[in-house]
Structure formats: C-alpha cells, structure tokens
Amino acid sequence: MSENSIADLLKAATAHAVPVVRAIPDDRLTAPTPCAEYDVKALVNHLLQVIVQFQALAAKQNSEFGAETPDFVAEHPDWRDRFADEAGKLVAAWAAPGADEGTTGQMDMPARTVGSMALLDLTVHAWDLARATGQDYEPAPESSGVVAALRESVAGLGPMARKMGVFGEPVTVPEGAGELERLLSETGRDPRWTQ
C-alpha cells in the first residue's frame, strides 16, 4: 500500500464522498444502485454504519456491526450533515497516534488493512451513490494515492472477499480504462452501470 497515512487517504476520499451524499435528492432514495442488494437509502445507511464503526476500530475497540443496520436516514432528518460529521470523525480517529499500527478489533487484522476497508467503502460506495442518483463522481486525484492504494489493497483482499460474497467476479474493462474503472471492475462492478 502507498506510504500515505490511512488518515490522509481517508481525508482525500471523504472530500469526494461528502458532496455526493449531500446532493442525494429525497426522491432518489428508493432508486437501485450498482450494489444490487442496496437501494440508495440502504446504501447510505450502510455507509454511515461503516464510518461510525470504523472509528471504533481505529481506537482498537471492537465494532458493533449488528445483524441490522440502523436506519440513519429515517432517524436523522439531517442525515446528510450527520454523514459529513461522522466522516470527519473517521478521519480524526485514524489520524490518532498508533491508529494504523498493530492489529485492531475482533477482526484481528492489521490496522492498516482495516483502515483501507473503510477507504474502499468511502470511495466505491460514493461512486455507487453518484451513479444511482445521476451525479458525476470525481475520485480523489491521482496525486492523493487513494485509488492506487485501493487497487493494491483489493489485489490482496480480492480472493477472500469474492469467496465471502463481498466482491463479485472481476468485470472486463476496455483497453485504456482509467484507474477508477479498473478498481471498480476488480470489485465486481461494471464501470458503465446505468439504471
């Protein structure tokens, strides 16, 4: 993985995810997304749960991913602001000294790997939400190292993630596809997905 800290990578990804979430119109909450098991509302709820629970993992605490995802959208009329606040807290949690060292949580995985999972969700699900709501998605710039770090991470996590059903089988992309398109395809997404 790149030498950039997880906090720096998360900060760069957050800057591109928050505007997408802020721009989701209420009348698109039931729209399908490239994540077949989620509509827009369910995906926002999932992503909010991820950024809340991965704050605990940064602090070497166990996460509380329960059987049910909280319905943040229904419970918080200001869920768009809540998303921005929690994303900022996620960055701060991973910026704490030692957050990306050692192992973390009941996953007992290297902290840097765990942090990269949150980074992947913030990047790929922001693309999913943008696609599902007719927005353009501009990933963090190449200079940030986000997409390069994620491609490296997905190469390592991919086989197990596919076995667990977290990733689909890779999708073929055309010659000359960009780094984001390649990353999406490696997680089983069709970069040309439309409703």
Any idea where the domains of the chain sit in the sequence? 6-147
Q: Residue 131: which of 191, 42, 41, 47 has the closest Cα? A: 191
Highest mean pLDDT among 1-15, 18-32, 166-180: 18-32
Q: How confident is the model at residue 1 (pLDDT cuts 50, 70, 90)?
A: very low
Alpha helix positions (H), 59-103: 72-75, 79-95
Task: Tell me: pLDDT of 61 over 60.
Answer: yes
What are 95's two structure tokens?
Answer: 């910026």
The span from the CA of 27 to the CA of 97, in Å, is: 42
Q: Residue 66 corresponds to which amino acid?
A: G
pLDDT tens digits for range 124-141: 999 999 999 999 999 999
What CATH number does the domain located at 6-147 have? 1.20.120.450
E strand map for the chain: 103-104, 109-110
Task: Tell me: pLDDT of 66 over 80.
Answer: no
Task: Tell me: pLDDT of 10 over 70.
Answer: yes
Task: Tell me: pLDDT of 93 over 60.
Answer: yes
pLDDT score for 49 = 95
Report the Cα 126 to chain-centroid distance in Å: 7
Q: Residue 113: which of 126, 128, 97, 102 has the closest Cα? A: 102
pTM, 2 dp:
0.94
